[in-house]
């Protein structure tokens, strides 16, 4: 593109989407995320970058999702999706950060440097799919994204309000038409179609009950389930709560993150003892389950539980199909409950890898298995199947003995029901419901597989969270000096004590995690570690308190 036309672009940027703040912003665990009013220029610039990325990828489609997921309503964010539906390649995160932070005056020269650095052929076509969540600031930001795309002569296509995983799915399909149709309807056909097919093969039996309550976090996931619900013909009776009406606020005291971290029931959901409830997050990529017993005690079934449920069922089907040469592995982070890791390795005999927080790390590690199951404890995850796995299973489904064929065909349906591009609450919900139905399980029986170690998560505000450096998949910290020794000494005081600290990539805080053999011990250990962080890493505001 000739420089003169680029110059028009930068003049436009200054006028329409000027940089209004000097606060440094970083492409973190899940893209840029901060107060929505600080983001317009960032999103516009990411529109520019998406076009450059599309051209580097020979004109393949790139995705842009406007969302701040589980954060509260005033926040928003943007993340880029690569052509196969996966997260933006990590080496580009630094480029994105640079472009987001330069002054309006330097935007022109920086963009040109980047085009040169990544060797983008600016004469190629470029295509960008844009999706957004339900935040009231999202339409304005989506418009800024489109303006950025148009500015560099790319073609934006706006999908309106969609879940993050629907956008990932559409990007993947647009670039690989064997995966499906790149529309919201195409997505429903694939996921819900596979669920219905499998339901015809698996009659309801045992303790499984087709009624499922859903906490939609007042976000987009519940709205989409409301569309799906009507086509379910009784295979699953979805009772939906927190759909965003009646003054319900996005993620406020509800949704998957609230349920997981507070271990409390969300507001807005009718309480029926022992009724299983699926809780989604604000952009529909996380899922946890829970039920309350007759004393209103909360029983949580988190991402670790979903991972073990899916992995054990897939292992059973692989055995039935006699697909013995396919290996399966499970990927977790340091937040996985220690009891789940023990159960997976000792009982399920499935190998486990531990990686850094953020699905991009889990996804990457899962690729090394023929079948990789990955979940963060907070309920973000999926299953990915290699080409070898898909071919082997398809061959058995076609040529195997009758019993082998049955298992292999069920596996093919499961693969179809899975959104392999990224963790997806809707797809995961149908997978979980399938396994519970296939095994005739009540949520109580699902939970009985192993007993979680009591755990606690806390947040500490510090002057500069990047003063904390970590190693060993974030399980140990190397700075500031003395902090790891303090954490070790504190954890050593408690039976089954384990604790770690790391800077959040999505909020300006340090996260503390602790587990121990009782809830009180886990609460105390977490609070003591939080105090150590406060003292050694420059805490600000109120000093963390020990539990009463
Ligand atoms: C402990 C925790 O749940 N951390 C979350 C959270 O990241 P942080 O870097 O911890 O803020 O948001 C990420 C994006 O949704 C998610 O991938 C991750 O698991
Ligand atoms: Mg999310």
Say if residues 238 and 264 touch (Cβ distance below 8 Å): no
67 lines ligand 1 (CB under 6 A): no
- Asked if the model's pLDDT at residue 4 lies above 80, the reply is no
Ligand nearest to the CA of 164: 2
* Tokens of residue 497, six digits: 């004590």
**Atom 2, ligand 1: residue with shortest CA distance:** 378
Same domain, 295 and 310: no
Q: Is residue 46 part of a domain?
A: yes
Of ligand 1's listed atoms, the one at least distance from the Cα of 378 is: 3
Q: Is residue 167 part of a domain?
A: no
What pLDDT was estimated at residue 3? Answer: 55
Q: Is residue 429 part of a domain?
A: no
Residue finishing a domain among 250, 278, 301: 301
**Atom 4, ligand 1: residue with shortest CA distance:** 357
164 lines ligand 1 (CB under 6 A): no
Q: Which helix (H) or strand (E) holds 383?
A: strand 381-385
Site to substitute for ligand 1 among 255, 307, 504, most atoms within 8 A of C-beta: 504
The average confidence (pLDDT) of the chain is: 96
- Asked if the model's pLDDT at residue 86 lies above 60, the reply is yes
Same domain, 124 and 213: no
Same domain, 204 and 151: no
468: domain CATH number is 3.30.310.50
**Atom 18, ligand 1: residue with shortest CA distance:** 358
Of ligand 1's listed atoms, the one at least distance from the Cα of 513 is: 1
Same domain, 231 and 85: no
Residue finishing a domain among 126, 161, 196: 161
Interface predicted TM-score (ipTM): 0.99
Residue pLDDT, tens place only, 487-523: 999 999 999 999 999 999 888 899 999 999 999 999 9
Residue pLDDT, tens place only, 301-326: 999 999 999 999 999 999 999 998 99
77 lines ligand 1 (CB under 6 A): no
Same domain, 94 and 199: no
Q: Is residue 427 part of a domain?
A: no
Count Cβ atoms within 10 A of the Cβ of residue 100 and give its class: 0-12 exposed, 13-18 middle, 19 or more buried.
buried
86: domain CATH number is 3.40.120.10
Domain count for the chain, please give it: 4
Residue pLDDT, tens place only, 277-290: 999 999 999 999 99
Site to substitute for ligand 1 among 27, 29, 165, 335, most atoms within 8 A of C-beta: 29
Same domain, 331 and 291: no
What pLDDT was estimated at residue 354? Answer: 98
How far does residue 157's CA lie from ligand 2's centre (Å)? 22
Say if residues 52 and 87 touch (Cβ distance below 8 Å): no
What pLDDT was estimated at residue 5? Answer: 66
Residue finishing a domain among 301, 319, 334: 301
- Asked if the model's pLDDT at residue 485 lies above 70, the reply is yes
Confidence of residue 51 (pLDDT cuts 50, 70, 90): very high
Same domain, 140 and 207: no
302 lines ligand 1 (CB under 6 A): no
Same domain, 97 and 198: no
What pLDDT was estimated at residue 365? Answer: 97
| Domain interval for residue 123 | 3-161
292: domain CATH number is 3.40.120
Residue pLDDT, tens place only, 370-413: 999 999 999 999 999 999 999 999 999 999 999 999 999 999 99
**Atom 3, ligand 1: residue with shortest CA distance:** 378
Same domain, 264 and 389: no
How far does residue 523's CA lie from ligand 1's centre (Å)? 20
**Atom 9, ligand 1: residue with shortest CA distance:** 505
Same domain, 297 and 311: no
- Asked if the model's pLDDT at residue 152 lies above 70, the reply is yes
Give the largest Cα separation in the chain, rounded: 71
Count Cβ atoms within 10 A of the Cβ of residue 466 and give its class: 0-12 exposed, 13-18 middle, 19 or more buried.
exposed
- Asked if the model's pLDDT at residue 76 lies above 80, the reply is yes
Point out the residues that are catalytic: 69
Q: Is residue 169 part of a domain?
A: no
How far does residue 505's CA lie from ligand 2's centre (Å)? 13
How far does residue 175's CA lie from ligand 2's centre (Å)? 24
Same domain, 40 and 126: yes
Rg (CA), the chain: 23
Residue pLDDT, tens place only, 167-185: 999 999 999 999 999 999 9
Residue pLDDT, tens place only, 179-222: 999 999 999 999 999 999 999 999 999 999 999 999 999 999 99
Q: Is residue 150 part of a domain?
A: yes
How far does residue 515's CA lie from ligand 1's centre (Å)? 18
Count Cβ atoms within 10 A of the Cβ of residue 94 and give its class: 0-12 exposed, 13-18 middle, 19 or more buried.
exposed
What pLDDT was estimated at residue 7? Answer: 74
Binding residue ranges: 69, 281, 283, 285, 376-378, 502-506, 511
Confidence of residue 11 (pLDDT cuts 50, 70, 90): confident
End-to-end CA distance of the chain: 65
507 lines ligand 1 (CB under 6 A): yes
Q: Is residue 369 part of a domain?
A: yes
Same domain, 357 and 314: yes
**% of the chain residues with pLDDT over 70:** 99
Confidence of residue 9 (pLDDT cuts 50, 70, 90): confident
Q: Model's pTM, two decimal places?
A: 0.95
Residue pLDDT, tens place only, 266-277: 999 999 999 999
Q: Is residue 173 part of a domain?
A: no
Count Cβ atoms within 10 A of the Cβ of residue 123 and give its class: 0-12 exposed, 13-18 middle, 19 or more buried.
exposed
């Amino acid at each position: 593109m000739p420089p003169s036309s680029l110059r028009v672009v930068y003049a436009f940027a200054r006028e329409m989407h000027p940089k209004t703040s000097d606060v440094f912003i970083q492409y973190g665990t899940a893209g840029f995320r901060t107060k929505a009013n600080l983001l317009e220029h960032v999103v516009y610039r990411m529109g520019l970058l998406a076009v450059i990325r599309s051209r580097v990828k020979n004109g393949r489609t790139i995705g842009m999702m406007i969302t701040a997921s589980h954060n509260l309503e005033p926040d928003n964010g943007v993340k880029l999706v690569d052509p196969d539906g996966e997260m933006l390649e990590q080496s580009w995160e630094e480029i994105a950060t640079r472009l987001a932070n330069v002054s309006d005056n330097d935007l022109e020269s920086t963009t040109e440097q980047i085009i040169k650095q990544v060797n983008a052929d600016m004469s190629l076509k470029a295509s960008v799919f844009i999706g957004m969540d339900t935040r009231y600031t999202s339409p304005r930001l989506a418009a800024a994204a489109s303006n950025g795309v148009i500015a560099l002569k790319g073609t934006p296509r706006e999908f309106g309000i969609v879940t993050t995983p629907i956008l990932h799915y559409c990007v993947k399909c647009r670039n690989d038409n064997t995966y499906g149709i790149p529309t919201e309807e195409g997505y429903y056909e694939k996921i819900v179609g596979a669920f219905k097919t499998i339901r015809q093969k698996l009659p309801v039996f045992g303790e499984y009950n087709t009624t499922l309550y859903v906490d939609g976090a007042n976000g987009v996931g519940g709205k989409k389930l409301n569309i799906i619900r009507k086509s379910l013909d009784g295979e699953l009776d979805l009772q939906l709560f927190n759909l965003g009406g009646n003054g319900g606020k996005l993620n406020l005291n509800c949704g998957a993150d609230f349920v997981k971290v507070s271990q409390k029931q969300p507001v807005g959901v009718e309480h029926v003892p022992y009724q299983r409830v699926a809780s989604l997050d604000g952009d529909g990529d996380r899922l946890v389950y829970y039920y309350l017993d007759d004393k209103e005690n909360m029983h949580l079934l988190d991402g670790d539980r979903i991972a073990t449920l899916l992995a054990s069922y897939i292992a059973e089907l692989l055995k039935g199909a006699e697909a013995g040469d396919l290996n399966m592995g499970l990927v977790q982070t340091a937040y996985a409950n220690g009891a789940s890791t023990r159960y997976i390795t000792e009982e399920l005999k499935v190998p486990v890898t531990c990686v850094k927080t953020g699905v991009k790390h889990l996804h990457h590690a899962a690729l090394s298995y023929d079948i990789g199951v990955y979940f963060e404890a907070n309920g973000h995850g999926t299953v990915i199947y290699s080409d070898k796995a898909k071919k082997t299973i398809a061959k058995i489904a076609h040529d195997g003995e009758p019993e082998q064929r049955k298992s292999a065909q069920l596996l093919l349906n499961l693969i179809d029901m899975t959104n392999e591009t990224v963790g997806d609450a809707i797809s995961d919900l149908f997978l979980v419901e399938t396994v519970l139905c296939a095994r005739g399980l009540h949520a109580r029986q699902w939970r009985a597989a192993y007993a979680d170690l009591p755990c606690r998560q806390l947040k500490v505000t510090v002057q500069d969270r990047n003063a904390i450096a970590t190693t060993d998949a974030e399980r140990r910290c190397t700075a500031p000096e003395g902090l790891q020794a303090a954490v070790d000494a504190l954890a050593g005081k408690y039976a089954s004590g384990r604790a770690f600290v790391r800077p959040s990539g999505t909020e300006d805080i340090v996260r503390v995690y602790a587990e121990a053999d009782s809830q009180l011990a886990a609460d105390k250990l977490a609070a003591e570690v939080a105090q150590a962080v406060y003292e050694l890493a420059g805490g600000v505001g109120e000093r963390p308190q020990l539990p009463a």
